[in-house]
Amino acid sequence: LPLEERLARYVVEGSKDGLFPDLEEALKKNDPLDIINGPLMKGMDEVGRLFNDNQLIVAEVLQSAEVMKASVAFLKPYMEQKSTETKGKILLATVKGDVHDIGKNLVEIILSNNGYEVINLGIKVPPEQLIEACRRERPHMVGLSGLLVKSAQQMVLTAQDMKEADLDLPILVGGAALTRKFTHNRIASQYDGPVVYAKDAMNGLELANRLQN
Ligand code: B1M
């Protein structure tokens, strides 16, 4: 198989046999983020499709997630460290009820490589915990991630609770079940501060930069 297809296969099969030498090979020609967004993400999409068709069970998807995480960890030191000045502090969380964290952790790497101080609160973070962390840490921005359809709804509730707690700092949202329209009509409408939707981690960085200026 060609290199790109092999990389996607490691994710689909949840196997690390030969993964790291192949990642090293890929790094000779490609930017680490392009390896993630290209073949590795293609593998993840295939996993999602097979899972949807009942051709994979959760335990197998978990193995695929392990391969993705190990790849991102391997590639992380090769990602460009663009800035050393601190641009701002951002709290990141996967919303209540949701355990998906690969996308969120990618956002963390990209923001912290580009001058942000990131406080990653982890997964299944209820609004109360987020609000408490906002009071304690005084971030410039909050980043919410969620992949499930119900997580989009959870973001609405989170924004409502934050508003009730008198918070109006900018919120950056991202994740597969969200759209710009939903973000604008359903989340931003419940909140006093700005709420913006990022389609991927790089877009998240661009929007964070814009919100800081
Ligand atoms: Co789950 N899962 N999963 N899963 N899983 C999906 C999301 C699903 C679409 C699969 C499917 O059915 N086709 C489906 C959701 C259906 C829906 O609601 N629409 C699903 C389901 C149903 C479930 C369970 C309910 C399964 C079950 O138990 N029966 C369960 C839910 C548990 C829960 O959360 N309570 C579950 C569990 C799991 C695993 C634990 C096995 C594992 C997660 C492991 C982990 O994250 N540690 C897993 C995985 C791996 C997936 C898929 C296959 C891949 C997700 C992923 O990591 N993608 C996924 C299908 C798919 O997406 N193709 C699926 C790679 C990652 C880099 O992309 O996170 O989208 P992503 O991030 C992107 C952008 O979205 C964006 O930037 C990133 C790219 O640069 N982004 C942000 C994300 N967050 C952002 C935040 C930002 C900015 C951008 O700013 C703050």
Render pLDDT for 101-119 as a digit per residue (tens, 0 to 9): 999 999 999 999 999 999 9
Residues lining ligand 1, Cβ inside 6 A: 44-45, 47-48, 51-52, 58, 61-62, 64-65, 68, 97-104, 106-107, 143-145, 147-149, 172, 174-177, 198, 200-201, 204
Ligand 1 atom 67: residue of nearest CA: 103
Q: What letter represents residue 150's amino acid? A: K
The 3 state secondary structure assigned to 17-65 is CCHHHHHHHHHCCCCHHHHHHHHHHHHHHHHHHHHHCCCCCHHHHHHHH
Compute the distance from residue 122 Cα to the ligand 1 centre, in Å. Answer: 14
Find out whether 34 is annotated in a ligand binding site. no
- pTM for the whole structure: 0.96
pLDDT tens digit sequence for 50-92: 999 999 999 999 999 999 999 999 999 999 887 777 889 999 9
What is the predicted ipTM?
0.98
Question: Which residues are catalytically annotated?
Answer: 98, 100, 151
